[in-house]
Structure 1
Amino acid sequence: MRRRRVLGTTALAAVITAISGAAPSPAHTGADARGGEPILRAATTAETIAARQRYFGSADVDPATGSVRRDRVILSWVGVTNFAMAIRGHVVLLDAWVPRGGTSGYVPSSPEQLAALSPEAILIGHAHFDHAADAVAIAQASGATIVGNAEQCAAFRERTTSGMPPRCLTALAAGVAPGTTAEVDLLPGVGVRIMKHLHSAVTSPGGDSTGYHMPVTPLPSTTQVEHPPTPQDMLRLFGGLADSEAGTVLYRFEVGDLTLVWHDSSGPLTDNAPSALDALRGLGPVDIHVGAIQGFNQFSNGMRDIRQYIEAIGAPLFVPSHHDDWAAGITTKGENYREPLDTELARIPPERRPQVRFISDPADYVRPEALTFPVAFDAPRLTRRCVGSGRLRVGLRGDLADVREVSYVLGRRRAARRTRAPFHARFARSTLRAQLGRRLTAVITDVDGSRRTVRRTIPSCGLRR
């Protein structure tokens, strides 16, 4: 027992040293290790369906096709700030590492299972091993596109030691200033915005008008004793310690009536990039904020930095992450961060203080019901306008991202079929005259094959029978 504890402490001291050295510099250093062990084969359709049912819930996944309900945003936590997310039916990963090496088997997930989800994209916050060590392997096995800044894309190309480098979408140019934002054309029907900010870092105590912040130094747990690391997992952990940060970014997602912000580190913006706080305020309105609360500045400024992110973003619901026992010996159970977080959030006036949905390890790992949010869409509306004498122009308004095809029916006659938004069609005098007084129907076929109808009365447009 004692030998395991000493070995773990030594290994994890090395983790702190490696990450601490990399954290202040956002540039890719060229010292990156290989991008995770290769995943030997692609998942079968049956494996993808089973994986999606496990990570997103059986009730929200079609058992025949594996499609995920489009009127939900579902996040399934796999440790640190790594999530599998379903949003408008799209499956993506937020960061890409299953924690192992400090422990083994503590997080009930694996890179193979994440690849089996068949994600469309892997969105990276920063490229340290505990956020991105499995990104290359998962992308190669699943065909997912990695998304990040230019420095991160360069890092992943270098980390590819076998096969072709995965596609990496450069969403921000190299060397941009903190606070820089850009829109990312990635997922149909989902608005995605990326923003450069800062990785956590130690700064002098204080730094804002709220005064002294109690350092957060929770006692280590016994997780490493209960889930001791295998030699193989420890070797993989050591292999990624030199992975560079390659810059730190966050993402804002907008779908239907819901907006969500996710970030995997919380930097000392008030000290080193105060203009980025203004950029955070510009992300609003935001409904759900998922953010990292554990970081280097907790040892000098407690939870100050995350509280400033929370105030600037202004979401009514906050979900903490990066607070679990992913590196036993230097981390601790997430529950031990609850009191320090509550104490810091008490500095926010009650009318602006968010509700906290606290997820805890290990109970909330791969538990989609913990973070499932309904989404409402602006339903398609049938528009009609008379153009000239006796002619009619029709189309659809509203949220049309899920619409694949529209068939227009005048009375009982199918009069037009359109496959491109906004699905406009024109009807001539002769066609219109024969159907006066009847109903105009739009038969809408969505991308999942489901159908719905919208009806309105056919206007006369100056015609008489």
Structure 2
Amino acid sequence: MKRTRVHGVIALAFGCLLCQSTLAAPPASADLVKARQLFFGIENVNATTGEVNNQKVIFSWITNASYAASLKGRVVLLDTYVHRAETVPGRTPFVVEDLVSLRPEAILLGHGHFDHADNAAFIAGNLGIPIYASAETCVAMQVDATNLFAAGRIPVSKVDCHDVTSTGSTPGAEIVTIPQLEPVACITAFRHLHSARVAADPNIPIFPVLNIADLRDPQMYPPGLPLAYPSSGSGGPGGPVSIFYQFVMRGDNRFTVVWHNTTGALPEGCAIDRCWSPAVGKTLFDIMQSLPPTDVELGSMVSLGFGTNGMRDVVIYNKALLPKVYIPIHQTNAALPTSSLEFKVSYLAQLDLMLNPAVANPDYYFLPKELRPEARWMVDPDDYLKPLVYDPKDQRWSKPAGRAAVGACN
């Protein structure tokens, strides 16, 4: 296991060697070209080499909180779970093996529950690529690799899994930098809180969430034959240990993206596995505020606390990060498939309920209209594999003077 930390922790070595060797050998296989065009769009992928546009940042939703990402041509997977993974494309318009054909250079896991970490060891074991995850989840990845090797599914019995944080660490205590995408992008990561159900917050009104599915969905998308590669870690210690990632592009307005596949209860400092303390929650809030300014937040729209506190936790993460664009993730699991627009209604209403500057603890509970992000809502399954393409050079992403070098990635 290898680990990098800012503030005196050894840097990970050899982070970008694999990607250089992967993308430096045109012409590419037909499977690679086909997969990359499927995920990132025909217009964004070279039909001969399979290289993805090296001037753009592209995200492609692959169900739930999972995304295929190309950061100026550097392809990674953010989670590897596939909802309704089947032997042939159906409601989900691809199969797990297409993620192998995509040939990402690395996998980053937000936490170890099945709806995030399934298929990770299968993909990494077949491609020989690194996984970045908590130390606890890395243990599960090795168990998965052993099982997949014994079943003849992968050619190796171990995978290269890098501990992002150490076993049992307190959320926010270890801030790390991951050089996997250098010199194109710097990655900052730290442990935060898995979402949790806590008591109703007395400080602000809460707009309820109706987690209601579209009853037409089973008729439109009849189930097929399931085919996926489950992780053993869902019920283990790594299941709830959650990692927050920020990607800062080098140059070009320092275009910055955050991805967090769960959204914790910061005011209480509680996660699904334990309540740490309100002080831990405040530390995490302060860390998020200290990061380089965020342009796009790919953040979980569902908290396990939605039954008591609606979309409160989502808005508090917005307040901490102040992104220009918010893209809701973690649909199809916890949030019922097709329930997305119910969550959108509640999210927009909750924003309107957090406009009182005189509220107790305005750091958490006051988000003025001028600081709201543009919500670019996603709806399953219609928005699967529809590339979200960003030009880092666009002046919308320019940063205020004096803030561009704040944080771990400077």
Same fold (TM over 0.5): yes
Match of 2:171 in 1: 178
Do residues 94 (structure 1) and 64 (structure 2) align?
Answer: no
Does the Cα contact within 8 Å between 1:317 and 1:354 map onto a contact in 2? Answer: yes
User: Which sits farther off after the overlay, 103-112 or 158-167?
Assistant: 103-112
- 3-state secondary structure, aligned to 1:86: strand
- State the 1:45 CA deviation: 1.6
CA distance in 1, matches of 2:334, 2:258: 25
Residue 360 of structure 1 deviates from its aligned partner by: 1.4
Q: Verify: 1:143 aligned to 2:128, yes or no.
A: yes
Q: How does 1:203-218 map to 2 (within 5 A)?
A: 203-206=198-201, 209=203, 211-218=204-211
Question: Could you tell me how far apart the structure 2 residues matched to 1:228 and 1:93 are?
Answer: 27
Identify which of 191, 196, 201 aligns with 1:196: 191
Q: By how many angstroms is 1:61 displaced?
A: 1.2
| Structure with greater strand percent | 1
Greater RCO between the two (CA within 8 Å, min separation 6)? 2
1:70 deviation in Å?
1.4
Shift of 1:246: 4.8
| Equivalent residue for 2:373, pick from 342, 354, 359 | 354
Equivalent residue runs for 1:228-239 within 5 Å: 228-230=222-224, 232=226
The corresponding residue for 1:302 is 310
SS in 1 for 2:159: coil
Question: What is the distance in 1 between the residues matched to 2:379 and 2:290?
Answer: 30
Q: Is the 8 A contact 1:102 1:224 kept in 2?
A: no
Distance 1:242 1:236, change over 3 A: farther
Report how far residue 176 of structure 1 moved.
Answer: 2.0
Aligned partner letter, 1:93: L
Alpha-carbon shift at residue 195 of structure 1 (Å): 1.5
User: Which residue in 1 is equivalent to 2:391?
Assistant: 374
Q: Alignment length, in residue pairs?
A: 327
- Report what 2:265 is aligned to: 268
Paired with 2:49 and 2:85, the residues of 1 have a C-alpha distance of: 35
3-state DSSP of counterpart to 1:265: coil
Query: How big is the shift at 1:289?
Result: 0.7
The answer to whether the Cα contact below 8 Å between 2:135 and 2:163 also exists between their aligned partners in 1 is yes
Equivalent in the alignment of 1:392: none
Q: Is the 8 A contact 2:90 2:224 kept in 1?
A: no
Q: Per-residue deviation at 1:230?
A: 4.0
Seen in structure 2, the aligned counterparts of structure 1 residues 322 and 172 have a Cα distance that, compared at 3 Å, is: same
What's the counterpart of residue 357 of structure 2? Answer: none
C-alpha distance in 2 between matches for 1:361 and 1:70: 28
| 2:16 aligned residue | none
What does residue 286 of structure 1 align with? 294
For structure 1, the residue ranges without an aligned partner over 5 or more in a row are 1-43, 378-465
Give the 3 Å change call, closer, same or farther, for CA 107–153 of structure 1 in structure 2.
same
Structure number with bigger Rg:
1
Q: How far, CA to CA, are the matches of 1:228 and 1:142 in structure 2? A: 32
Q: CA deviation at 1:86?
A: 0.2
Q: 1:83 aligns with which of 56, 61, 67?
A: 67
Q: Contact 2:144/2:232 (CA < 8 Å) preserved in 1?
A: no
CA RMSD of aligned residues (A): 2.4
- Aligned with 1:252 (options 235, 246, 259): 246
* Equivalent position of 1:125 in the other structure: 110
Structure 2 unmatched ranges of 5 or more: 1-27, 150-155, 270-280, 355-366, 395-410
Aligned partner letter, 2:98: Q
Q: 2:349 aligns with which of 343, 346, 350?
A: 343
Moved more, 260-269 or 239-248: 239-248
Secondary structure at the aligned position of 1:186 is classed as helix
8 Å CA contact 1:97–1:130 kept in 2: the answer is yes
Partners of 1:148 and 1:237 in 2: CA distance: 16
Displacement of 1:102 in angstroms is: 11
Q: Distance in 1 between matches of 2:86 and 2:312?
A: 27
- CA distance change for structure 1 residues 376 and 231 in 2, over 3 Å: closer, same or farther? closer
The amino acid of 2:162's aligned partner reads L
Q: Over residues 371-411 of structure 1, what are the superposed CA-to-partner deviations in whole Å (9 max), with x where a residue is unaligned?
A: 1101239xxxxxxxxxxxxxxxxxxxxxxxxxxxxxxxxxx
Contact 1:69 / 1:88 at 8 angstroms: preserved in 2?
yes
TM-score, scaled to structure 2? 0.74
Contact preservation (8 Å) 2:64, 2:83: yes
2:165 matches 1:167 = no
CA contact (8 A) 2:178 2:188 kept: yes
- Give the letter aligned to residue 350 of structure 1: K
Q: Does the CA-based 8 Å contact 1:102-1:326 persist in structure 2?
A: no
State the TM-score, normalized to the length of structure 1: 0.66
Could you say what secondary structure the match of 2:267 adopts? helix
- Secondary structure (helix, strand or coil) at the match of 2:268 reads helix
Whole-Å Cα distance in 1 between the matches of residues 42 and 85 of structure 2? 31
Q: Could you tell me the percent identity over the aligned residues?
A: 31
Instruction: State whether residues 57 and 71 of structure 2, in contact with CA within 8 Å, keep that contact through their aligned partners in structure 1.
Output: yes
Distance change in 2, residues 1:326/1:271 (3 Å): closer
User: For residues 152 and 242 of structure 1, what CA distance do their matches in structure 2 show?
Assistant: 11
- Deviation string 1:26-77 (CA, Å, 9 cap, x unpaired) is xxxxxxxxxxxxxxxxxx7210011111211122211111111111110000
| Shift in CA distance, 333/105, structure 1 to aligned 2, threshold 3 Å | farther
Distance 1:96 1:237 in 2: 10
Q: Give a deviation string over 1:162-218, Cα, whole Å, max 9, x none.
A: 1322111122222222123111121122101102101111000006x4x13133132
The secondary structure found in structure 2 opposite 1:130 is helix
The yes-or-no answer on 1:49 pairing with 2:33 is yes
Deviation per residue, 1:241-281 (Å, 9 max, x gap): 64651510111001132010000000101101222111111
Partner of 1:281: helix, strand, or coil? helix
**Structure 1 residues 275 and 220, CA, compared in 2 at 3 Å: closer, same or farther?**
same
Kept in 2: contact 1:55–1:76 (CA 8 A): yes
Matched, 1:155 2:133: no
Taking the aligned partners of 1:61 and 1:87, their CA distance within structure 2 comes to 13
Cα gap change, 1:238/1:196 in structure 2, threshold over 3 Å: closer, same or farther?
closer
- State the distance in 1 between where 2:44 and 2:288 align: 32
